[in-house]
Chains A and B, each alone.
Chain A
Amino acid sequence: MSGITTIHENLKGDKAIWLIVALLSLASLLAVYSATGSMAYKMRGGDTEYYLFQQAFFLLAGMGAMYGAYRLDYMQYSKFAPLLLLVAGLALLWTLGFGTEVNEAKRWIALPWIDKTIQTSDFAKPVLIIWVARALAVKQDYIKDFKQAFLPIIMPVVIICFLIAPEDLSTAALLFVTCLLMMFIGRISFKFVFLLIITGIIGLSILVMIGSVFPDLVRVDTWISRINDFMYNTDGGYQLQQSKIAIASGEITGVGPGNSMQRNFLPFAYADFIYAIIVEEYGLIGGFTILGLYSWLLFRCTRIVTRCPKTFGAILAMGLCLNIVIQAFANIAVSVQLVPATGLTLPLVSMGGTSILFTCISLGIILSVSRYVEEAQYKQATIEKMENASIN
């Protein structure tokens, strides 16, 4: 009993979010174990638990990082935001120049002190979101102003996204949209938001133009073929067809854990198409549950925002949450051919190291905000109680 009490005391903040994280981690372990069955079989000499243990390790490390991020007063993030943004920008530049190539995309840098690579954009995402939330909060009094508010905020956003885009357009677009939504919620003038959308389109066009002149610099080839596939192939290309076969095979209740057949046919079943494998094994019920968990996360964050007395906290929590949820929706939408293939993973569920780590840190920051909200509400309630008492 005392153990549970201790957990209860230490884990303040939104209990529902803690629960969502736990459920998604469980889903991750089950799905990764299934999806990597045949990969482990051939790459690891039949050691089918290899990837399971690896994923479990990442999730545990993620939880640790999440707890750390949660314990830190969220206002601290505001303080370090400018410095972190500078580091992220330099790291992205470095990656473009000297990064390690994995699956034909240069998104990684090797960390010298541990024998691992990290995906730089995973780090840049929360950093930029923190910085945008801070900037929006600071400039609330003159937020409708173009020169004083809009321009100083949008410039770093465009720069960071532009640095990510050549090798990973989807992530850049997602981050850009997240920032755009944050600015929208943060009361930036409507007309500037439209301007932003147009900026995005112009930026993309410039990239495509660079790409067609220097094909080695930007992966325009891949984008065009993906969009072509989406536009003109109603059944989808090979991957999409396999994904749909997986989703259809699951029917209502699924073929059962570990029984997926499509994992053998779906490239990157453990990453891009893990949702299809989940539906195959756990049916529509499983698919609904996963989608529901992300929607619930969005709902809980909205709840935090409505109760948060401070603008920075509110926008920060919303930004981080939106980034996760958009990515989740985008990943799932790809499996059912609602959007072109993006290469985005399902946050927290897909196999991966840095992605899990930084998703967990984001969730930790959200929880830190929610803890503050709870404490503030508790104080408020106490004050009201005392006031009522004194009146009586």
Chain B
Amino acid sequence: MRLLMKKKSELLVRLYMVVGAFALVAVLIFYRVVKVNVFEGDKWREKGNVHVKWRPIEADRGDIYAMDGSPLATSQPFFEIRMDLQVLKDKLFKSKVDSLAYRLNKMFPAGKTKFQWKSFLQTQRSKGNKYCLIAKDLTIAQKETVVGFPVLRNSKYKGGAIVDRYFKRRKPFRELASRTIGVDRENADKIGLEGYFDKFLKGANEKRLMKFIPPDWIPVYDPSEFEPQSGDDIYTTIDIDIQDIAHTELEAALVKYEAEAGTVVVMEVATGAIRAISNLSADGKGNYREFYNHAIGRLSEPGSTFKLATVLALMDDNYAQLDSKVDFNKGKMKFYDQTMYDSEWHGIETADLRKAFEISSNVGIANLANQHYNKAGGNTNFIRALKRFGLLDPTGIELIGEKHPYVKDPVKDKKEWFGTTIPWMAHGYELMFTPLQILNLYSTVANDGKMMKPYLVSKIKQGDKLIKDFPPRVISEKIASSNAIQGAQNLLEGVVIRGTGRKLRSEYFGFAGKTGTTRINYAKKEEEKKYNASFAGYFPAKNPKYSMMVVVYTPHGKYYGGSVAGPVFRNVVEKVHNLKLDLNKAINQGFQLVAAANLPKRRIGYKKDFEKVFEYVGIEYKNKSKSNWVAVDPFDNKMLIDKKSIIKSEVPDVRGMGARDAVYVLESLGLLVELEGEGQVRRQSINPGANATEQKIKIYLD
């Protein structure tokens, strides 16, 4: 027992020694905590006072597509590679800096030489740069190559590679509908569809903590760990073929008449889907660019195109029929203190409403309106009719900045309501609309009085998942009596057959419409007279499929709607007619058009286009390719469609392609295209097979 006690006490003595030592250590540790916290506290708090901020990391923005799925606006990811030169071990750096410099020089031959790279890396390392820029604006493939280089291929804590991703917005079709597609601007309001659908397109941004270590903000965490939610894709109603035609025709007219600006909108009658919307403004250097969305944002007095509303009101209120007698007064008449003139001399004393509309007599239409609406209560009836026609409200198109129509109210705007107001309103003055608002009335007349809401976006999708569907929407089942609508259709057809649009008439395709010539600076008598020329209508005349509005703002030389805007309208109708086979089945049904004709030469382009053409013309073809881009060759009385693959990193052979296809292909590879001439591509400034980096390429067409 004594022995046991002795053993126990020896054990306890040793135990107390150990515990005592631990107590000392605990005290020492706590002293250190206090030292850091209190005695050195200010120093460390000062050091910790780095500038820190949360920077949003943009998600992959959604794409905007045309009706057929070709991208109108798309985000391409680009990468920036930086290096934390402080984490590198001496051994690794010294042994690999030469080969890294060599590879960097080979990768970017235009940049630093091998020796410059080496000394750059060494200097930056000795400066302790933790965020040293190596390369930026790299494509995915280029980034993959660079992070495979010596040193950089190691893990981030050993090799120091920091990869930053960002996006650049591209429009593969460049100017086509570019204002409507819009701009995704960083420091200003986004415009167009980019702005209106921003909350879908932008996706969910992430935030990253950045701290300021002069001279750079550097991420606290490895950025590659972030994977923000990418944005939804927007599918528009834009038909890229019609858009292309509208753009080309409008541009040609603007150039020809040195106009200030112009717009063309094409809408599908049955649905209200906008198939083309082109807005061009002079850039002061002789070119026309998409700067402003005139079609939805520019209010102006419509002039004669508004007469449709006036006669529709008169017929719907049963004040007039097509054959109602109208006093023309030889094209000159005084209403109260103002004299009104017809724009062309005709010398007619009286005729019927049809004639007044077809020759666009201001006096005739104004007289009739004056007679029925310019009295107590009558003026309210006129405004009420405009309300029924949807002309008092904006169309509600999915774009920011649609202007509200300006129409006076006889009660609310009593002080500005004069005796002359009704006669002037009747022929399109003292009120203002956007081109789209006027177009919607014409479209409704074409649609037998059923008013559709004009719309630009049909679907929003996240990958293959439908997020939102936008079916056509009816605003009003019937804006006027069938009688009035039929009358209006009759009048619009007459304008092209016998009236101010008769020169535009074609034997092969029918259309209906109304010219407009608006004097815009009538208040300033001393200035040179300025006009807007317009043409609104629809086609084909029977069973219309599309409605269209053309406005040319302040043309020079000619100014009549029939001679400036009318030809644009006509040309678009003609080309769309030829393109959209379903519009003219009747013409080539039953007989082969080119049975014995020579087969065309080799061409390159978009496969669906060729198939359409061959089917239409009746040439046999054999399809050997599933890809979108093809070459077609004459072969054994057939056209052979073969694949024309496009390698992502090489400049493709675009010779034989049309301008639109060539620009699309080249720009989608990141090249900047300059065009010369018209027609098919004959020559290209960079040979096929060269490395496709972000550079300029010029293509010559003839």
User: A250 to chain B: closest CB distance in Å?
Assistant: 7
Mask of B335-375 contacts with A, CB within 8 angstroms, 1/0: 00000000000000000000000000000000000000000
Among listed A19-27, A145-153, A194-202, A261-269, interface-contacting one: A261-269
Mask of B39-64 contacts with A, CB within 8 angstroms, 1/0: 01111110110001000000000000
Q: How far is the CA of A184 from the CA of B606 in the complex (A)?
A: 87
Determine the chain A residues whose CB is within 8 A of the CB of B45 once the complex forms.
Answer: 245, 248-249
- Beta-carbon contact of A251 and B41 below 8 Å: yes
B10, B12, B29, B42: residue with the most chain A Cβ atoms closer than 10 Å: B29
List A residues 169-194 near B (Cβ within 8 Å). Answer: 181, 184-187
Q: How far is the CA of A104 from the CA of B41 in the complex (A)?
A: 34
Asked whether B474 is an interface residue with its Cβ less than 8 Å from the other chain, the reply is no
- Beta-carbon contact of B37 and A248 below 8 Å: yes
> Contacts A42-B225, A185-B18 known; A306 to B12 CB distance under 8 Å?
yes
Q: How far is the CA of A325 from the CA of B226 in the complex (A)?
A: 38
Determine the chain A residues whose CB is within 8 A of the CB of B41 once the complex forms.
Answer: 248, 251
Among listed B19-27, B98-106, B508-516, interface-contacting one: B19-27
Q: How far is the CA of A250 from the CA of B30 in the complex (A)?
A: 15
User: B641 to chain A: closest CB distance in Å?
Assistant: 47
- Beta-carbon contact of A42 and B226 below 8 Å: yes
Determine the chain B residues whose CB is within 8 A of the CB of A306 once the complex forms.
Answer: 12, 15
Determine the chain A residues whose CB is within 8 A of the CB of B7 once the complex forms.
Answer: 140, 187, 311
Asked whether B209 is an interface residue with its Cβ less than 8 Å from the other chain, the reply is yes
Q: Looking across the interface, which residue of chain B has its beta carbon closest to that of A322?
A: B18
> Contacts A184-B14, A187-B10, A247-B44 known; A295 to B23 CB distance under 8 Å?
yes
Which of A43, A247, A261 lies in contact with B37, CB distance below 8 A?
Answer: A247
Asked whether A338 is an interface residue with its Cβ less than 8 Å from the other chain, the reply is yes
Q: Report the contact-size class of chain B (Cβ under 8 Å from the partner).
A: 35 or more
Q: How far is the CA of A325 from the CA of B19 in the complex (A)?
A: 11
Determine the chain A residues whose CB is within 8 A of the CB of B35 once the complex forms.
Answer: 336
Which of A140, A261, A291 lies in contact with B52, CB distance below 8 A?
Answer: A261
Asked whether A208 is an interface residue with its Cβ less than 8 Å from the other chain, the reply is no
- Beta-carbon contact of A181 and B18 below 8 Å: yes
User: A256 to chain B: closest CB distance in Å?
Assistant: 16
> Contacts A186-B11, A248-B45, A329-B25 known; A288 to B19 CB distance under 8 Å?
no
- Beta-carbon contact of A337 and B15 below 8 Å: no
- Beta-carbon contact of B40 and A302 below 8 Å: no
Asked whether A314 is an interface residue with its Cβ less than 8 Å from the other chain, the reply is yes
Q: How far is the CA of A247 from the CA of B52 in the complex (A)?
A: 19
Q: Looking across the interface, which residue of chain B has its beta carbon closest to that of A262?
A: B48
Mask of A311-323 contacts with B, CB within 8 angstroms, 1/0: 1001000100010
Asked whether B32 is an interface residue with its Cβ less than 8 Å from the other chain, the reply is yes
User: A164 to chain B: closest CB distance in Å?
Assistant: 23
Mask of B212-227 contacts with A, CB within 8 angstroms, 1/0: 0000000011000110
Asked whether A38 is an interface residue with its Cβ less than 8 Å from the other chain, the reply is yes
Asked whether B467 is an interface residue with its Cβ less than 8 Å from the other chain, the reply is no
Which of B18, B22, B34, B48 lies in contact with A284, CB distance below 8 A?
Answer: B34
User: A245 to chain B: closest CB distance in Å?
Assistant: 3
Asked whether B28 is an interface residue with its Cβ less than 8 Å from the other chain, the reply is yes
- Beta-carbon contact of B220 and A245 below 8 Å: no
Q: Looking across the interface, which residue of chain B has its beta carbon closest to that of A190?
A: B14
Q: Report the contact-size class of chain A (Cβ under 8 Å from the partner).
A: 35 or more
Asked whether A279 is an interface residue with its Cβ less than 8 Å from the other chain, the reply is yes
Q: Looking across the interface, which residue of chain A has its beta carbon closest to that of B21?
A: A181
Determine the chain B residues whose CB is within 8 A of the CB of A242 once the complex forms.
Answer: 48
> Contacts A42-B221, A184-B14, A185-B15 known; A333 to B48 CB distance under 8 Å?
no
- Beta-carbon contact of B36 and A248 below 8 Å: yes
- Beta-carbon contact of A325 and B40 below 8 Å: no
Asked whether B675 is an interface residue with its Cβ less than 8 Å from the other chain, the reply is no
Mask of A125-136 contacts with B, CB within 8 angstroms, 1/0: 000000000000
Asked whether B33 is an interface residue with its Cβ less than 8 Å from the other chain, the reply is yes
B36, B41, B155: residue with the most chain A Cβ atoms closer than 10 Å: B36
Q: Looking across the interface, which residue of chain A has its beta carbon closest to that of B38?
A: A284
Q: Looking across the interface, which residue of chain B has its beta carbon closest to that of A193?
A: B14
- Beta-carbon contact of B19 and A298 below 8 Å: yes
- Beta-carbon contact of B25 and A337 below 8 Å: no
> Contacts A181-B18, A244-B40, A329-B25 known; A264 to B209 CB distance under 8 Å?
yes
A245, A261, A325: residue with the most chain B Cβ atoms closer than 10 Å: A245
Asked whether A287 is an interface residue with its Cβ less than 8 Å from the other chain, the reply is yes
Determine the chain B residues whose CB is within 8 A of the CB of A261 once the complex forms.
Answer: 48, 52
Mask of B189-216 contacts with A, CB within 8 angstroms, 1/0: 0000000000000000010010100000
- Beta-carbon contact of B44 and A245 below 8 Å: yes
Q: Looking across the interface, which residue of chain B has its beta carbon closest to that of A184?
A: B14
- Beta-carbon contact of B33 and A247 below 8 Å: yes
List A residues 244-285 near B (Cβ within 8 Å). Answer: 244-252, 261-262, 264-265, 279, 283-284
- Beta-carbon contact of A305 and B15 below 8 Å: yes
- Beta-carbon contact of B29 and A185 below 8 Å: no
Q: How far is the CA of A43 from the CA of B40 in the complex (A)?
A: 35
- Beta-carbon contact of B29 and A284 below 8 Å: no
Q: How far is the CA of A318 from the CA of B12 in the complex (A)?
A: 11
B26, B38, B155: residue with the most chain A Cβ atoms closer than 10 Å: B26
- Beta-carbon contact of A302 and B26 below 8 Å: no
Determine the chain A residues whose CB is within 8 A of the CB of B15 once the complex forms.
Answer: 185, 302, 305-306, 318
> Contacts A298-B22, A336-B36 known; A288 to B30 CB distance under 8 Å?
yes
Determine the chain B residues whose CB is within 8 A of the CB of A48 once the complex forms.
Answer: none
User: A165 to chain B: closest CB distance in Å?
Assistant: 23
Chosen A-B contacts, 13 in total, with CB atoms closer than 8 Å, are A42-B225, A187-B11, A241-B44, A245-B44, A247-B44, A248-B43, A248-B44, A248-B45, A251-B37, A287-B37, A294-B26, A298-B22, A311-B11
Chain A contact residues, CB within 8 Å of chain B: 38, 42-43, 104, 140, 181, 184-187, 241-242, 244-252, 261-262, 264-265, 279, 283-284, 287-288, 291, 294-295, 298-299, 302, 305-306, 311, 314, 318, 322, 325, 329, 332-333, 336-338
The list of the 4 closest CB pairs from A to B, nearest first, reads A245-B48, A248-B44, A336-B32, A248-B41
List 13 additional A-B contacts (Cβ < 8 Å) besides A184-B18, A265-B211. Answer: A104-B155, A185-B11, A185-B18, A247-B36, A248-B36, A248-B43, A248-B48, A249-B48, A264-B52, A279-B37, A287-B37, A311-B7, A336-B33
